[in-house]
Amino acid sequence: MSVQNESRFIEKRFTPLITSLKSVGEQYLLIGTHSINVTQSRISSILDSGASCVVIHSGKNSDLKQLSQRFYGNNDVVLLDREFQLSDLTTLGRVAVGKIVDRVFVNLDSKQSLLIRDIFEQCQKLRIPINTHQRPEYSTFSICSTYNDPGQSGLQIAITTNGQGCLLANRIKREIVSRLPQNISKVVSNMGHLRERIIYEDHNQIIHSHFLNKDLQDLGFGIDEDVWESHKLNKLVYEFNVSEKQLKMKRSRWLSQIMEYYPLQSLAELSVDQLADQYHKISQEDNSKENASKKQRNTPDKKASNVNDADVQVSTTASSILDVPKKGSISLVGSGPGSVSMLTIGALHEIKTADLILADKLVPEKVLQLIPQGTETFIARKFPGNAERAQEELLEKGFDGLQKGLKVVRLKQGDPYIFGRGGEEFLFFQDKGYTPLVLPGLSSALAATVVSNIPATQRDVADQVLICTGTGRKGALPNIPEYVETRTTVFLMSLHRAQVLIDALLEKGWDENVPAAIVERASCPDQRITRTLLKNIPQTVEEIGSRPPGLLVVGNAINVLTDPELLKYDSSNTYHIEEGYEHVGFEDNVQKLLNI
Ligand code: SAH
């Protein structure tokens, strides 16, 4: 590489590949102890990772004493009080790799520049990864600021600013860690435990699932319109008379859905039974165990106790409410696409005054946090293969609550009447004598375009908007709309079957070069907008994976407010991604206003 190329390399700021290294049994060499605190912390993390190390001391005698005292009796640390020699690189390592050390950490006085350079060059020749403290130009890897879960769940968080300030990286790490739910250790251990069990038990079924799905899809077996998204593991599981083998397979899909949608803190309590297909039994057991679980679940931690179970959270006040004879009431309330700033004041009122909340699994986590402690809350178990039953379950719970005189709030994602089965639910409750109050919500279909800086209508570009679905009844393709050049079309529930949908659109005469955007988790902090052309959508989805929920927008209005420079596609650059929801500061302030 020429010098010129090298400087371009630095300018371009390539992002280093962050990895998590398995170090057990490796032998590392620490050259110099110039900054004794750095040396001590390096040794500790090396020992924690299961490697051992040789330290060549080069500082004051008091430092050597300090190190000897701190690591006294530890056979995995060898302290050598002598000058470093280049031959150490090839003699102090493990026998298994010809005594070449596995990794080198240099911590020398910057005055020893020549030596530092020699070590670096020699390590490069020998292909030994090297880190030189505060000298990125003499390092082939750098150390991240890390958080290791003290609960030993295995969770680690690593932050790097790539040489722009380790203090800053530490600060960012603290900010992130302080935002994790208190029970994060339990969340990680529990999910790991469930995953392991499922993989172990259902291994063969998962392997065969791809073929099964495909066969069933060809046969047109139904999936519910609310069940879609993630194009890999979350794929389709079908609801009909399935064998024991197929039921087992469902669990892994359910688990991946739960991990994706449920409030993080609620994952700590999830059990394998809740992943099985036994909800009839479970709900009966739930009722009989209600009193016992009430006591257990109401912990002093507000966040954890709000929705701390994948199943039912039982109110402490439920029984006293039962004593008051009053007629139950029901409202169907839209909760918006994700951000609490997009919740209506009417919806907030309903959430705060409900006795029983029945929420869709897509209802945003921050909205769930607004639910007062002690309000009974049930999150729908609408997972692949269980959509119909989950819907019935919700309606039954709602009707049950109404008969007990409760104020039932059916919290629905986005707008209740846009692909949310709101109409069906309205009729169900009306039939039973309880006419719902229906409160509109901001639909993702219209919010997603705004947060993506797409004016859905724009003079001379787009004069109409169409909201439709990519998944029709029972998983079939919906009616494909005709192509209108001046229309912005939003396809909900479409990304898991991008290829089939785009094929159908092109066949119907859609322009393959019309702009298209994938908008995922609109208005959430991890929002992602991917702009491309219609013809590139399937390949793009394949490459970027999915971050549900997401939708597809197609039309010429997509790029009118976007810098055309960003959208110069060629064969190696077929899409453009924007990460994050810009108004995070605003979002924090709104959350503070609402005390969440
Ligand atoms: N009633 C809802 C839509 C329910 S159908 C509404 O009005 O928004 C579920 C589909 O909505 C998902 O498949 C996805 O296509 C879309 N969706 C919901 N929330 C979204 C979000 N925050 N970002 C992008 N798409 C979203």
What pLDDT score does 386 carry? Answer: 75
Torsion sign over Cα 339, 256, 382, 497: positive
Most confident of 252-266, 361-375, 522-536: 522-536
pLDDT exceeds cutoff 80 at 543: yes
Q: Is the pLDDT of residue 200 over 80?
A: no
For Cα atoms 388, 393, 397, give the angle at the middle one, nearest 5 degrees: 155
Q: Distance, CA 443 to ligand 1 centroid (Å)? A: 7
Q: Domains of the chain, with CATH numbers?
A: 19-143 (3.40.50.720), 186-321 (no CATH), 329-442 (3.40.1010.10), 446-585 (3.30.950.10)
Ligand 1 in reach of 522 Cβ (< 6 A):
yes
Q: How would residue 326 be classed by pLDDT, with cut points 50, 70 and 90?
A: low
Contact 311, 415 (CB under 8 A): no
Distance CA 464, CA 455 (A): 11
Average pLDDT over residues 195-207: 64
Q: What pLDDT is recorded for position 577?
A: 95
Cβ–ligand 1 distance for 551 under 6 Å, the answer yes
Strands (E), 107-214: 130-132, 145-148, 156-159
Question: Could you give the C-alpha distances from 58 to 43, 51, 92, 314, in angstroms and in order?
Answer: 15, 22, 17, 63
Q: Name which residue leads in pLDDT, 254 or 467.
A: 467
The reported pTM is 0.62
Q: What is the pLDDT of residue 199?
A: 72
Cα 228 to ligand 1 centre (Å): 11
Look at residue 6 and tell me whether its pLDDT is greater than 60.
Answer: no
- pLDDT at position 2 is 45
β-bridge mates for residue 156, sequence order: 148
Distance 168 CA to ligand 1 centre (A): 36
Residue 351 Cα to ligand 1 middle (Å): 20
Mutate to test the pocket of ligand 1, among 468, 489, 492 (most ligand atoms within 8 A of CB): 492
Range with the lowest mean pLDDT among 245-259, 308-322, 440-454?
308-322
* Test site for ligand 1: of 341, 413, 446, 468, most ligand atoms within 8 A of the Cβ: 413
Bridge-based pairing state of the strands 515-520 and 528-533: antiparallel
Q: Where are the beta strands (DSSP E) in 57-200?
A: 77-80, 103-106, 130-132, 145-148, 156-159
Residue 239, pLDDT score:
44
User: Is the Cβ atom of 59 under 6 angstroms away from ligand 1?
Assistant: no
Nearest to 224 by CA among 212, 240, 208: 240
Which residue, judged by its Cα, is nearest atom 16 of ligand 1? 492
pLDDT at residue 13 above 90? no
Q: Measured from the CB, is residue 452 less than 6 Å from ligand 1?
A: no
The average pLDDT across 413-424 equals 95
Cα 156 to Cα 147: distance, rounded to the nearest angstrom? 5
Asked if 515 and 462 count as a contact pair (C-beta separation under 8 A), the reply is: no
Q: Measure the CA dihedral 5/8/9/15, to 10°.
A: -160
Question: Taking the CB of residue 115, how many other CB atoms lie within 10 A of it?
Answer: 18
> Is any atom of ligand 1 closer than 6 Å to the C-beta of 521?
yes
Among protein residues, the one with the nearest Cα to ligand 1's atom 13 is 493
- The strands making up 437-439's β-sheet, listed across from edge to edge, are 312-313, 376-379, 356-359, 407-412, 329-334, 437-439
Which residue from 225, 417, 551 has its CB within 8 A of the most atoms of ligand 1, so it is best to mutate?
Answer: 551
Residue 318: the pLDDT is: 35
Residue located nearest, by CA, to atom 2 of ligand 1 = 414
User: For residue 420, which atom of ligand 1 is closest to its CA?
Assistant: 1
358-371 average pLDDT score = 90
In the predicted model, what is the mean pLDDT of residues 551-578?
92
* Average confidence (pLDDT) over 97-119: 96
Could you tell me where the DSSP H helices lie in 220-338? Answer: 244-261, 279-297, 302-306, 318-323
The alpha carbon of 343 and the centre of ligand 1 are apart by a number of angstroms equal to 15
Question: Cα 85 to chain center, whole Å?
Answer: 48
Flag the least confident range among 41-50, 89-98, 385-394, 399-408.
385-394
More confident of the two residues 384 and 464: 464
Closest-CA residue, ligand 1 atom 11, reads 492
What is the average per-residue pLDDT within 258-268? 81
CA–centroid distance, residue 111 to ligand 1 (Å): 60
Å from CA of 234 to ligand 1 middle? 16
| 489 bridge partner residues | 466, 554
Distance 527 CA to ligand 1 centre (A): 13
| Ligand 1 atom closest to Cα of residue 417 | 1
**Taking 90 as the threshold, does the pLDDT of residue 105 lie above it?**
yes
pLDDT digits (tens, 9 = 90+) for 44-91: 999 999 999 999 997 788 888 999 999 999 999 999 999 999 999 999
Decide whether any atom of ligand 1 lies within 6 Å of the 394 Cβ: no
Distance (angstroms) between ligand 1 centre and the Cα of 548 equals: 9
Strand pairing class (528-533; 576-579) = antiparallel
User: If you average pLDDT over every residue of the chain, what do you get?
Assistant: 82
Query: Which of ligand 1's atoms lies nearest the C-alpha of 494?
Result: 15
Q: Strand, coil or helix: what is 293?
A: helix
Residue 376 and residue 314: Cα distance in Å, rounded? Answer: 5
Q: Is 413 in the pocket of ligand 1 (CB under 6 A)?
A: yes
% the chain with pLDDT above 70: 80
Residues in the chain: 596
| pLDDT confidence tier of residue 180, bands split at 50, 70 and 90 | very high
Round to whole Å and give the CA distance between 495 and 501: 9
Residue 448 CA to ligand 1 centre (angstroms): 9
Determine if ligand 1 sits within 6 Å of the CB of residue 549: yes
On the CB side of 437, CA atoms within 13 Å amount to 14
pLDDT of 262 reads: 79
496/470 Cα distance (integer angstroms): 9
302 pLDDT more than 80: no
For residue 552, give the ligand 1 atom closest to its CA.
15
Q: For residue 438, what pLDDT is reported?
A: 98
498 ligand 1 Cβ < 6 A: no
Greater pLDDT, 3 or 309: 3
Rounded (10°) CA dihedral 534, 538, 541, 543: -110
Instruction: State how far the Cα of 285 lies from the Cα of 306, in Å rounded to an integer.
Output: 21
pLDDT at 1 over 50: no
Average pLDDT over residues 258-263: 79
pLDDT of residue 242: 54
For the segment 525-530, the average pLDDT, to the nearest whole number, is 94
Question: pLDDT-derived band of residue 296, with 50, 70 and 90 as boundaries?
Answer: very low
3-state secondary structure of 240: coil
Helix axes 537-544, 498-507, angle to 10 degrees: 170
Residue 29 reports pLDDT greater than 70: yes
Please tell me if the CB atom of residue 495 comes closer than 6 angstroms to any atom of ligand 1.
no
How close is the Cα of 342 to the center of ligand 1, in Å? Answer: 14
Q: What angle do CA 440, 444, 450 make, to 5 degrees?
A: 110
Q: How many CB atoms lie within 10 A of CB 503?
A: 13
Tell me if 470 CB under 6 Å of ligand 1: no
Query: Please, which residues bridge with residue 31 across strands?
Result: 56, 106
Q: Which residue has the tokens 């099964």?
A: 212
User: What is the chain's Cα-based Rg?
Assistant: 29
Rounded mean pLDDT of 89-102?
97
